[in-house]
Structures are given as C-alpha cells and as structure tokens.
Structure 1
C-alpha cells in the first residue's frame, strides 16, 4: 500500500514538473540538436509605442516622427510586418538587443511581451536584453490633449518578470548584479546576453553610456569556460556597441571600457558580438590586420530603413550574416490598409527620414553665404543621401568614388565645422562591407 501511494506521489510530481515546463514557455522546448543549422533574426531598438498611449490629438504627428527618425506612429504596423516575416521564414531564434520600448513605458513592455508570445507560438525562440531606454526611465510618456504626459515605467524586477519567457526562465547562468544571462538554445551555439547599461545606482535610470563591470567580466569568463567544456560556440549580445564605430568620439555611443572587454573577448575566443543603440548599420573588427573579434551593429527596426539582421550558423560552415528589410508595403496591401504612407512605406520612410539632414544642411550652407544655389542644393542632397546610406550600411561600396567626387572635395573645404565633421565621419568611419559578413570555422 505504501509503495502504491509513493508511486502515485511520484506520478503526480512528474505531472506537475511537466506542466510547469510545458506552460513556462509558449514555444519550442527541446534544445536544438548538435549538427543542426541555425537561422537567427536579430532586431534592435524597436522603440515600440502602443497606440493606447495616445489620443492622436493635434501635434501627435510631430511627436511621433522624432528628431532621430523613429516612426512611432507606425511602430505597431512595423511589428506586425516583422511578425509576418518570421511566420514566413521561420527562424529558429529571434534576438532583440535592447531599447524594446519607446522610453520604458509599462504598457509598451506588456504589449511587446504579448507579441513575443505570438512569435514563440510560431516555433521561434525569443531572447531579449534591456537597453538604456527600457528600465527606470524618467522619460516614459504618452501623448494626449496635445501634449506629452508621464506614463508608468518599470523596474529591473519588472523587466525580468515581463520577459521571463524570453530568455530569463531558461537561462543556465546569471550575473548577480545585472540583467545578464547565459542561454543555451542549441548544443552547438550559446548566447551570452549582456546587460551593458550603466546605472547611477540600484534604483536609478541608466545613462546613455555602456559598461561591463569587473564582476560581470569575471562571470563572462565563467560562462566561456562552461561553453568550452560542452563544446559549444559562444556569441555575445549587448545593447551598446562593443567598439567605436565612428571617427567622431561621441560619449555614450559604445562601451566606455571597450579596450578591456575586447581584450577579454579575444582571450576567450568570443569572435562575434551583436549590438545596437546607435541606430546605424555597421560592422567593425578589433584589428584589420589580425581580426579576432567582430562587432555587428544592427540598425534600428523603428528607424529607416527598418531592417534586421539575419545570422546563419552551422558547426561546419561557421557564421554568415546579412540584413533584410521589413516589408511593410506587402503587409499593408494584404491587410487591405488604406493609409497611403503604409502602402508606399519605402518611399514614405526614406523621404521623412531624409528631410531633416537635408534641411539642416541647406540652412547651414545658406548662412555661410559663399555658395551658389546649385552648390547648396547638391551639397544638401549629398548630406541627405550619405545619412541614408549610413543607416542602410551601404557607404563602403561607394567610398572610393566618393572621395574623388568634386562635390565631396567642395565639402571638405566648407567652413561649417558641423557639416564637415558629419560628412567626413560618415565616409571615413567605414572600412569594410557592413551589409554582410562570413566567419568560417577553423
């Protein structure tokens, strides 16, 4: 009788464990077997803004197209289109490297979490980390009655709870001081998801700066040793760029202790880092002559050209990276939308994003009073087009011809320090193709 009772208890216990595991995630449960090819989508800087946060009153259009080009008005539609891409192409993994929400609004986090649940039901595993706009943000807001208003934000604990199903519940190791974790979705490939945000204290918002503490660096070393013991390849993901991606040394655009972290990655054999934060598309390597570490900055999903990274991995062939644009226009036609901006989204996004740098350039050049109207127009168009290419990641293919172009030489002599720095940095910051990368196995 005691044996039968014990057996019953064991069965009930196993059933409870199975139920917990089964409902803890909405997507696939099994670890991807060794030898399987893996397809990963990488999205960053979604800056999701749910329409429940606005009444669309006067002035919202200006609020929704921000100075840095975020298309808040269409963030839901962009995510809907992205969902269709995932549904059609069926990637194994979706990595989201921070700045998930506009400014850390609780509503946006919860709505985005629901969207990730839908994605996982398609069979794609989702892994997220926070960006500097996601946790304890004092800028959390919406827009009603013609003005912004303060909205509820979230804490570190809230973030871990809201996104528990998207990395945290299945992490195999955690950093004690940050929201960093180690995930093993595949026997061959592990993800080192790093919270690179720099906070003033335990209860204060992050700055724009990125930083990896000594304690976190020690934990990273332990994770690398775990991966090596299991024969797994380790790649890292963080919000802030691992390396400097511009000749302009702008505070907060990369890890403030980049030298130390790159050296650590070289030592540990972590050759690939995926990041975001600066919204452009760019790839950098630690040493052009002897590259050991690559930092791929994926452009922001919410900003022109609304694209994401695609990373293929195989144990035999290594990594192959490319980029892909969200097809909002096709989605809008299939959904029978009537908004002309959505039906012609490619042109709309390019025009609205290019307008500000063009206008700034014209104003600067006109104030100098030394250029003809023809020269002003050509130079302003060059600023616009270079900025568009910077966000597409397509400056490198034209760099050689551009350096010889008369209009570029005219720009280099301009007395506008702002425009000189802007143009020079875009052209001279790129030293390799930023749209694709292939890293083979040894």
Structure 2
C-alpha cells in the first residue's frame, strides 16, 4: 500500500474521517466527481475526501461478497479481491464448529472475512495479519465480535500451543506486485510451509486458488472447489477433523440460498474416494444427442465431470472437452442443461448465413476447446436481426463444430 493511501486510511479512522464516511450517500460513479468537488468547496481536506470516496466505492463493490455488512467495513482493493465471501466463509466456519474446536488461529486474516464468519458462530478467533495497515482494518471490521482478537505479526512464528490454538485457518497471499501468483510455492507464505502446520495442529484449513494443481495436494487432504452462482471462487484444503469426508476431492456449488456437494462417490451423503492428486477420470465420448450439459466450473476443477456424466447418463462430446451430451433432459445443480436445436461443422460463412436466415441479431456465444474469440467472431458475423440465439463452439468427435442450443 502506498504512503498516500495509508495516510488516507489513517484519516478515516479519526472521528471526523469516520463521520464523513458514514454520511456519504450510496456510491455512484456518475455523481462521485460532483460530490468530491462539493466537499472540497466546503473546506474538507482533499486527502480525506479522496480516501472517503475510495472507501465508498469499495464498499459498494464489497456488497457482492459481504452483503449489508459491507456498509460498516473498511477495505483495500487487494484485500477485497482476495477476501472470502461471507456465504463461503459460513461453510468454512461450519467445518470448525462440527469439529468442536475451541480457538481458531486465522493466519493471514486479511480484512477479516473468515474471522467474521467464525465469530458469528461463536467460535473464538485469533486473527493474525502480517501487513500492519490490513491488520488495522481487520480490527475495525471485527469490532462487533468480542470473541475475535486481531494481532499484527507473522502467523508462521505464532506459538500455537502456547496460545491454546487447536485449529488453524490460513489464507496465504496469492498476489505479488498486483499480479496473481499461480505457483503454490510462491504464495506468501509458501503453501508447503503452511501445510507443515498440520504436524502440530491436525485441524488445518487452507484457502488456495482454484487453479491449484493436483500435484500440489498431499495425500491426506480433502480438497473442495467452490463456485458461487456459477463462478469458481476458491479451493479449500481440509485436514484432520475438519475433513470428515476423508481424503479426496469434491465440488461445493452455491446458488442463491442452496448448497450442493458432489464427491466421487456421490452427493454430500457420500464420502470422498480416490487419491486427491490422482488424474481426473475420463468420460466416454458420445455422438451429440438431443441435450447438452455444461458442468459447473467447480465440478470441472474437482475432476468430477465423469461422475456427473454417470449421473446424467451422458458422455462427453469429444476427448478432453467438458461438455456432456445425452438424449434425456435432466435437472442437476452440477450442470446447466440445453436443448440442441442444430449442429454443423464450423464455418464462418455457413454460420453467418444460418443466423441471418433466422433473423438473429442478439447472439450468446459459449466456447470450449476452440481458439475462436467470441467478440471477434461477433464482429465478423455482423448480425442485425431482431431474434436471439445461443451457440456453442466446441469439438464434436474432434471436429470444430457449432451447436445451436436453447437453455432448458
């Protein structure tokens, strides 16, 4: 965090700064400049105005993750990007409650999202954050939870036994210089060092990026990929009493108020099976049927496409392509279904003619297994009709193809 941003946050923590922030109207990009100019004209310090409007903008964005809680929190851009959604944090917290733990060390607590979820269930939390400014913001965000304590420091140097910690949650930083870090060994702290904590505290949970390779997963982990309303947001690594499913991989699909879990052996009532670092099973390739299914991203990341295919009595449309096809319409929370209206080998000329004949002007383009860029294709098609359609660009039996579909 640069010095100007840090100074602005300090001003907001002063009584006049907090009062200004709380009086601001809901953030609007259209009116932000006018509001800024008005505050400065009234003699409000420009640095404080900039800091308050920045927080107002971040609070508006944070509503997606924190709901109504966002209006009383403080954020940084980087912290908000990595923060756990409260809906996901609630599922984390339930694992700790079910394990009967008495004190959770939240290492790398960031802005305090997971500590909030744990505290909401009455679980005492020691939240540790290496960045001083972020630790200060976490203190503000957790001010309403008396069972949460925030400490500035290096979580890996914490004497867990002396603190009475019997469970750990860790969220290592996955950005450096504003860029995402994909190598788990380059996390801060590195994932192998974090995983070493389970030698002292078996009840360990770690939040990692959804792209974590299976090769980075130890054999005793239950790895669960999580999607929220169709967007894959994280993978959670769970050990010891926090993983009653046992070692393996699963997908947690959150849609609205509903939660669905898929494991290799079945739904949430089943147990995980297979080595966490084993390659994903392959599904049988089938000719295109009457229906197409697009597995949820968490299902794909967890390597459970073949499991979903079995449940749908379906096969994949081509080797290595995570689109499923069958002749039966089935509703499942783990895949989005479409009725196949037509399909043909991909050709720009043929596709353009096909759509123009049907007066299509609004086109949804989905793709998998093809180098076609949807926005470039849309310009090349030059559509101007009144109708709308959905096309899927993929491979059928290895050939670049177009499927015209409609959602079930």
Q: TM-score, normalised by structure 1?
A: 0.32
Q: Which has the higher contact order (CA 8 A, sep 6+)?
A: 1
Q: Which has the larger share of strand? A: 2
Return the index of the structure with the highest Cα Rg: 2
